[in-house]
């Protein structure tokens, strides 16, 4: 039994499902704040800026400061800083570009030292793929905000960034650096902000690969919820087992009170 000093929470499938909060999730988050247990949100969404993520949560009853929300775009900005890159060619949708612009990263249509790829929906065209490919062949590096296979929209399964990342890797004979979950660097970004070492923090997620596998690689205590994309057969086949499994985020207060 480990007692944790802070927690990281996934959003989709843990706090929310579609455009509804998970039952008990609003109370669980309020409990964390009331108890003074530090937490941050780590989401793999690449269709919204940090500001939009916080605004959406606010609309669903979660009062969470924008600066507590960590997205792959934040991780990419951090990585671009490490690489001394002041510009990138971004393929993403929604208002994700804001996170780059507000960090002073120039978004280049043409030449750029780095191609950053997210979930881009209709922005994927033969031309946009070719543009990215030509930059990569010219020596640009490839950063993937995430490399999920698909997500479920109203019309059924829809492709995420992963297949397009795989296409560009194949075309340019390169390997993308994934900055979203399950990259340990992404978890560390949120932990650094919390000022808590990985071994004293818990990660609560619904994805056995990105949340649980990633958290374990980063040294966190990994807690799987049985909501969102949870499926018993996926858990049975998971290469990395969670430290704990709870029915939903509503059970988090009890878990933390008795020790994870």
> Could you list the residues that contact a copy of itself (CB under 8 A)?
120-127, 129-130, 133-134, 137, 149-150, 156-159, 162-164, 166-171, 173
Contact between residue 198 and residue 217 where contact means Cβ atoms under 8 Å apart: no
Q: How far is the CB of 121 from a copy of itself (least distance, A)?
A: 6
SS3 state of residue 39: strand
Q: How far is the CB of 17 from a copy of itself (least distance, A)?
A: 21
Q: How far is the CB of 11 from a copy of itself (least distance, A)?
A: 23
Using the minimum distance from each CB to a copy of itself, give the nearer residue, 39 or 164.
164
Calpha distance 221→191 (Å, rounded): 13
Using the minimum distance from each CB to a copy of itself, give the nearer residue, 115 or 120.
120
Q: How far is the CB of 144 from a copy of itself (least distance, A)?
A: 12
- The token pair at 88 is 């990138």
Calpha distance 115→69 (Å, rounded): 24
103: number of Cβ within 10 Å: 15
Using the minimum distance from each CB to a copy of itself, give the nearer residue, 59 or 156.
156
Using the minimum distance from each CB to a copy of itself, give the nearer residue, 102 or 111.
111
Q: How far is the CB of 110 from a copy of itself (least distance, A)?
A: 13
Contact between residue 142 and residue 169 where contact means Cβ atoms under 8 Å apart: yes
SS3 state of residue 140: coil
Contact between residue 114 and residue 88 where contact means Cβ atoms under 8 Å apart: yes
Using the minimum distance from each CB to a copy of itself, give the nearer residue, 168 or 249.
168
**Alpha helices, DSSP H only, in 205-260?**
214-217, 232-237, 252-258
């Amino acid at each position: 039994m480990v007692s944790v000093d802070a927690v990281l929470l996934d959003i989709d499938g843990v706090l929310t499902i579609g455009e509804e909060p998970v039952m008990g999730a609003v109370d669980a988050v309020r409990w964390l704040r009331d108890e003074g247990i530090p937490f941050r949100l780590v989401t793999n969404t690449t269709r919204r800026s940090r500001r939009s993520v916080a605004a959406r949560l606010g609309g669903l009853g979660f009062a969470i400061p924008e600066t507590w929300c960590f997205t792959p775009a934040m991780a990419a900005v951090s990585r671009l800083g490490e690489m001394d890159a002041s510009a990138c060619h971004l393929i993403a949708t929604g208002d994700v570009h804001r996170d780059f612009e507000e960090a002073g990263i120039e978004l280049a249509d043409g030449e750029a030292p780095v191609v950053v790829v997210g979930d881009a929906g209709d922005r994927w065209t033969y031309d946009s793929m070719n543009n990215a490919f030509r930059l990569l062949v010219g020596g640009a590096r490839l950063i993937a905000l995430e490399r999920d296979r698909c997500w479920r929209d109203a019309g059924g399964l829809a492709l995420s960034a992963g297949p397009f990342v795989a296409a560009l890797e194949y075309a340019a004979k390169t390997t993308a650096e994934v900055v979203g979950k399950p990259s340990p660097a992404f978890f560390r970004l949120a932990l650094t902000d919390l000022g808590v070492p990985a071994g004293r923090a818990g990660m609560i997620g619904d994805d056995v690969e990105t949340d649980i596998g990633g958290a374990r690689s980063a040294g966190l205590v990994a807690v799987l919820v049985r909501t969102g994309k949870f499926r018993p057969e996926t858990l049975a086949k998971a290469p990395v087992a969670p430290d704990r499994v709870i029915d939903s985020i509503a059970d988090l207060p009890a878990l933390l009170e008795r020790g994870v």
